[in-house]
């Protein structure tokens, strides 16, 4: 199953906005936590379609986007928040291929966005 990009919404609210690493923006550690929230939202999307996350046999790939200041180069560390959450949730089945991409802007001025591909039975 392929999810669309998920933003760090909690209770219908975007929890942060702005560029990672920019003055007055979002710091890398906060962005890392936001990436984990995005992964939770992606898993919720998976569950809504397949009914039970116990059916997931592995996380195949994660793509993470980080809206970042041009001088910021820590995108992989930010997306580690999502990867580590998936590893804790699924153990060896959570080990996945991954891309971490810096971008100029994301929807709603979100600092991060995460999409994933999950295999299930």
Number of domains in the chain: 1
Confidence at residue 87, expressed as pLDDT on a 0 to 100 scale: 98
Q: Which residues contact 76 (CB under 8 A, 6 or more apart)?
A: 100
Q: Which residues contact 104 (CB under 8 A, 6 or more apart)?
A: 67
Q: Which residues of the chain have pLDDT under 70?
A: none
Domain interval for residue 32: 9-120
Residue at 34 is within a domain:
yes
Contact criterion met (CB below 8 Å) for 109 and 116: no
Write the CATH number for 98: 3.30.1330.40
Question: Tokens for 1?
Answer: 């199953």
Confidence at residue 92, expressed as pLDDT on a 0 to 100 scale: 97
Confidence at residue 85, expressed as pLDDT on a 0 to 100 scale: 98
Contact criterion met (CB below 8 Å) for 113 and 38: yes
Work out the number of other CB atoms within 10 angstroms of the CB of residue 5.
18
Confidence at residue 108, expressed as pLDDT on a 0 to 100 scale: 98
pTM above 0.95, yes or no: yes
Confidence at residue 94, expressed as pLDDT on a 0 to 100 scale: 98
Kindly state the DSSP code that residue 25 receives in the 8-state scheme.
S
């Amino acid at each position: 199953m392929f999810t669309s990009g998920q933003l760090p919404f909690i209770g219908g609210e975007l929890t942060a906005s702005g560029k990672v690493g920019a003055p007055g923006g979002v710091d890398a550690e906060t962005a890392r936590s936001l990436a984990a929230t995005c992964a939770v939202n992606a898993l919720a999307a998976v569950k809504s379609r397949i009914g039970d996350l116990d059916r997931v046999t592995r996380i195949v790939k994660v793509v993470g986007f980080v809206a970042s200041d041009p001088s910021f180069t820590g995108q992989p560390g930010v997306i580690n928040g999502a990867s580590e959450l998936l590893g804790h949730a699924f153990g060896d089945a959570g080990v996945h291929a991954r891309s971490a991409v810096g971008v100029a802007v994301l929807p709603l001025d979100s600092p991060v966005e995460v999409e994933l591909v999950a295999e299930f039975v």
